[in-house]
Amino acid sequence: MKNIAVMGAGSWGTALAVTLGRNGHRVRMWDINEAHLKDIKANRENRRFLPNVSLPENVDVILEKEQMLSEADLVLFSVPAQHFRQAFTQALEYLPKDVLIVNVAKGIEQKSLQRMSEIAFSIRKDLRYVVLSGPSHAEEVGMGMPTTVAVASPQRIWAEEAQDFFMNDYLRIYTNDDVAGVELGGSLKNIIALGAGISDGLGYGDNAKAAMMTRGMTEITRLGVRLGADPLTFSGLSGIGDLIVTCTSMHSRNRRCGIMIGEGMPPSEAVEKVGMVVEGMYTTEAAYRLAKQVDVEMPITEAIYQVINGALPAKEAVNQLMSRSRKHENEDVLLRI
């Protein structure tokens, strides 16, 4: 039994806390929302974000994070990407020197345009850092349904250590050494999921969604390669795998938000109705700016950026994408940029 500290009691943090508890570890969860924690503790269930999934006896909820962090063998950060810097900075003084950090936030920080690993290493260079990402709805993991994800780290041994912590008979873990690719795949697919939802909300069919997903993955790969990622990563779990699940399922908050926008609801109202953080709304702006900065063409991302900022009606954005100049399908996709 190892000591696990979980920062963030949302749906995904809770599902992984339950999984780690089922694997025999001592797990303690903390969240900035004290009332939310008290409700979980009283009911032994995250009724707000992951209902009908009971916490194992060895998973507890605490109101003070300091002791939890100082005794941890592994700290799981499951906070919104835009709050990762603050959460990591506040936790830093309590972290043991050799603790394994596992981050599951999927996003790009708007202010700095940095990935989560870049933020973490800019604050503390001697980290044992792992990112966990892939096609994984918290609702299904919480219920013990078969799921497969990837863990990536600068050191393979750290990824393998995380693999040992999380892997069981329903959660299969693959290791990867492409931190940039795994983080970018998990982040950028949320943009395309918004687009897939908008397409559904407009009443378009499977053809349109397939085009959105396929050409969206082209954009993700194009930007990822420019930023140093391995193109093969985007063919894997944290690339096409995560894209498929996020663009096609009603578990996906990004897709649900997009559907409401496509139906005509103002973006801010759609986010509020989802009731949880919609990472794609933040990542779209960050990716739009990042693409401009490194001179990478991302027409779908740019169109979605204009739609969610009210600069362009959704239907007009589709018309503009469909009327772009003719191209060869494989032009500027991977390494020829």
Continuous H helices in the chain? 11-22, 34-43, 66-70, 84-92, 116-123, 138-142, 156-166, 179-201, 206-226, 242-248, 253-262, 267-274, 279-294, 299-308, 314-322
- Residue 334 confidence class, pLDDT cut points 50, 70, 90: low
> Look-up: residue for tokens 């941890």?
72
> d(Cα 113, Cα 107) in Å, to the nearest integer?
10
Q: What digits encode the pLDDT tens for the residues 128-156?
A: 999 999 999 999 999 999 999 999 999 99
Q: What digits encode the pLDDT tens for the residues 66-112?
A: 999 999 999 999 999 999 999 999 999 999 999 999 999 999 999 99
- Residue 324 confidence class, pLDDT cut points 50, 70, 90: confident
User: What is the chain's length?
Assistant: 337
Domain 3-177 part of CATH 3.40.50.720? yes
Dihedrals φ, ψ of 151, to 5°?
-120, 135
Cα angle 126, 128, 129 (rounded to 5 degrees) comes to 115
Dihedrals φ, ψ of 189, to 5°?
-65, -25
> d(Cα 297, Cα 254) in Å, to the nearest integer?
23
Residue 233 carries which DSSP code? G
**Bridge partners of 133?**
150
| Rounded percentage of the chain residues whose pLDDT exceeds 70 | 98
Every domain of the chain and the residues it spans: 3-177, 180-322
Q: Which residues are marked as active site?
A: 189
> Look-up: residue for tokens 């300091």?
66
- pLDDT at position 333 over 80: no
Q: What digits encode the pLDDT tens for the residues 7-64?
A: 999 999 999 999 999 999 999 999 999 999 999 999 999 999 999 999 999 999 999 9
pTM across the whole model: 0.95
Identical fold, 3-177 and 180-322: no
Helix axis angle for 179-201 and 116-123, nearest 10°, is 140
- pLDDT at position 336 over 50: no
45-46 and 50-54: which strand pairing?
antiparallel
CATH of domain 180-322: 1.10.1040.10
